[in-house]
Amino acid sequence: MEAATIVAGLTRAVGDVGMAEDLAQEALVDALTQWPRDGVPRNPGGWLTTVAKRKAIDHWRRQNNLDAKYAALARDLDTRVDDDWDPDRIDDDILRLIFIAAHPVLSRQNQIALTLRVVGGLTTDEISRALLVGKATVAALVADEPEVHGLVALMEFQSSRFAARTDPHGAAVLLEDQDRTRWNRAQIHRGVTALQRAARAVGRRGSGWGRYALQAALAECHAVAPTAADTDWSRIVMLYDGLRQIAPSPVVELNRAIAVAMASGPAAGLRIVDELTGLPESHLVPSVRGELLVRLGRQCEAAAEFDRAAQLADNSRERDVLTGKAGRARAAR
């Protein structure tokens, strides 16, 4: 339980289970070197946690782009070991670790194996004996983490933009119009790190990317672009091509059409939208058609599409926005 407490506390601090385990292992290596020489500290768990956090700070300092996260962790890190640290206390950190290990994107067997590994601290051999399965099977189960890391990355990317998503009046601000200086860079970095973990897990398994990892990769394209004009739309199209293979839906096709329009021009995107089926009662299709028609200079058709979208919208603010777009399209004829 002490090992789980250390990993759980580090997970809360760094936002990544894999990194937390690596930091804990590095701290343990230091302990094996120093303790025989200097003696075992009065609070070994607190010593390991403190050393691991300092290693995290060193890691972020080398990257030269995580000042906010470095400062937040540094404020939380005392210059001495916390003598009040209790390895037997089951606190919120361990609960967070359990929730990550038992996330529903994993199968039940994956959840059990991952919980025994990161919470219980069991080795692959011990888990193998407990579950009565081969060691190779357990290794695969424990390594089957890409979707969890992908989901974590997706949530970090999405929540990093919360502060910029609405204007002072509460109206939604489109992604391309958002003030990117208000995006939370620490969260974006955590998302990038989690996505890298997902990529390594995929590499170990020799399998393809799952839906959450692909969605996180899509969100990353927007999150790391300095401006809307710098967005890598060709990569976004490629990622949507992958997503439509494993999780096809009309919404995925519509978003892909938008990406194609941004990468190859509005005419290419409009052809895809015109062939789309499956969203007959949604305001999204006529709304997107209206935007593409405006870019093509077909203002009358665009106004009609915005009118239709406004009729289908079930949100008053969306209706007002769409009605305004219809009016501007008519005025631009």
Quick check: 127 and 117 in contact, CB under 8 A?
yes
Q: Give tens-digit pLDDT for 186-196.
A: 889 988 988 99
**Residues composing the chain:** 333
- Which region among 27-31, 198-202, 296-300 has the lowest average model confidence (pLDDT)? 27-31
Does the reported pTM lie above 0.75? no
Residue 325 has pLDDT above 90, yes or no: yes
Nearest to 15 by CA among 222, 187, 157: 187
Would you give the DSSP letter of residue 275?
Answer: T
- Average of per-residue pLDDT across 59-70: 62
Alpha-helix residue ranges (DSSP H) falling in the chain:
2-14, 17-38, 44-63, 67-76, 92-101, 108-118, 124-131, 135-143, 146-159, 185-205, 211-223, 233-246, 250-264, 266-274, 284-295, 299-312, 316-331
The pLDDT score that the predictor gives to residue 302 is 95
Residue 167 has pLDDT above 70, yes or no: yes
Cα–Cα distance between 12 and 186 in angstroms, integer?
A: 14
Q: Give tens-digit pLDDT for 86-144.
A: 544 445 556 766 777 777 767 787 788 877 876 777 777 888 888 777 878 777 766 65
First to last CA, the chain: 70
Cα–Cα distance between 23 and 19 in angstroms, integer?
A: 6
